[in-house]
Amino acid sequence: MAYDLQLAERIRSRLSQRAGGRMIEEKKMFRGLTFMVNDKMCISVSGDRLMCRFDPALQETAAAKDGFSPMIMKGKQYRGFGYVDAAVVPHREDLDYWIGLCLDFNDRAKAAPKRKSRRK
């Protein structure tokens, strides 16, 4: 599970400063590290890019940003999710834009249903 440790630390630091008392948890998933805010996926680092979850109504706005690519799985584009190349977030302000976009949506985002344990 290789991901950019420096980028993960930058996200961890900025997210903790901007979360405003919301609960933050880190989980290894999506071939990287996912930052859960209030039990909902918020932002991840996978390889050398971010995976962001944001308001689907802002898909075109996000898509217009440098380094953005939509999330496409099995031929389907997922609105409100996208990848951002780490190369386009070298400064705190650049990273803050994406973290802010994700945090703004987090309160309205739906949490994934809890899975039942498969252990017997």
Query: Is residue 14 assigned to a domain?
Result: yes
Query: Is residue 120 assigned to a domain?
Result: no
Query: Is residue 55 assigned to a domain?
Result: yes
Query: Is residue 68 assigned to a domain?
Result: yes
How confident is the model at residue 23, as a pLDDT?
Answer: 94
Residue 5 is given by DSSP the state: H
> Is there a contact between 71 and 51 (Cβ–Cβ < 8 Å)?
yes
Name the domain count of the chain: 1
Query: Is residue 115 assigned to a domain?
Result: no
Single-letter code of the amino acid located at 13: S
Residue 45 is part of which domain span? 5-106
> Is there a contact between 25 and 16 (Cβ–Cβ < 8 Å)?
no
Mean pLDDT in order along the chain per 10 residues (120 residues): 90 92 92 94 95 97 97 95 96 96 94 70
Rounded Cα distance between 97 and 33, Å, is: 19
Instruction: Give the global pTM.
Output: 0.88
Query: Is residue 113 assigned to a domain?
Result: no
Give the phi and the psi of residue 88 in degrees, each rounded to 5.
-95, 10
- Of 27, 37, 30, the C-alpha closest to 51 is 30
Our measurement of the distance from residue 9's CA atom to the centroid of its chain's CA atoms, rounded to an integer in Å, reads 14
* CATH number of the domain bearing residue 21: 3.30.1460
How confident is the model at residue 32, as a pLDDT?
Answer: 93
Query: Is residue 116 assigned to a domain?
Result: no
Rounded Cα distance between 23 and 6, Å, is: 22
How confident is the model at residue 97, as a pLDDT?
Answer: 97
Query: Is residue 71 assigned to a domain?
Result: yes
